[in-house]
């Protein structure tokens, strides 16, 4: 069985996320998603999520491409995750190109093209603009 892992926040789940998960799953038989916890997002990424970790986890677990969701609690856990879950392929969006090449010692590393016209950041900006214009 070929195991694949990807990492992310997956807030405001959208079709760009689904595209990434579908392509990641197509690279193996079993897809693990390491989902950033609320604490990790706030302390390390300075991101405030709209949905809580538990809600984002439930959404990801409902996606047919996802086999297992685990918490991402630190930047440093990637090597231990790859070892513990016997990962064959590590997948991230190409906006992270080169950042995780250190994992090539442990598994294949693939950077997938992002869905260009969609992002959670853009959705939040657009919604904020709608609210600002309406006032």
| Secondary structure of the chain in HEC code, one letter for each residue | CCEEEEEECCCCCCHHHHHHHHHHHCCCCEEEEEEECHHHHHHHHCCCCCCCHHHHHHHHHCCCCCCEEEEECCCCHHHHHHHHCCCCEEEEEHHHCCCCHHHHHCCEEEEECCCCCCCHHHHHHHHHHHHHHCC
Instruction: Please tell me which residue in 2, 25, 43, 47 is annotated as part of the active site.
Output: 47
Catalytic site includes residue 57: no
Residue 7's DSSP bridge partners are 34
Is 45 tagged catalytic?
yes
Active-site residue identified among 2, 43, 45, 104: 45
What are the catalytic residues?
45, 47
């Amino acid at each position: 069985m070929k195991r694949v892992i990807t990492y992310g926040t997956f807030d405001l789940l959208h079709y760009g996320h689904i595209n990434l998960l579908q392509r990641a799953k197509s690279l193996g038989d079993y897809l693990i998603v390491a989902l950033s916890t609320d604490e990790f997002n706030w302390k390390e990424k300075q991101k405030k999520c709209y949905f809580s970790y538990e809600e984002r986890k439930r959404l990801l677990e409902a996606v047919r491409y996802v086999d297992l969701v685990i918490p991402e609690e630190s930047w440093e856990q990637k090597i231990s995750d790859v070892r513990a879950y016997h990962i064959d392929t590590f997948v991230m969006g190409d906006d992270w190109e080169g950042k995780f090449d250190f994992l090539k010692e442990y598994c294949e590393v693939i950077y997938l093209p992002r869905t260009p016209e969609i992002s959670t950041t853009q959705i939040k900006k657009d919604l904020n603009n709608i609210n600002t214009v309406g006032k």
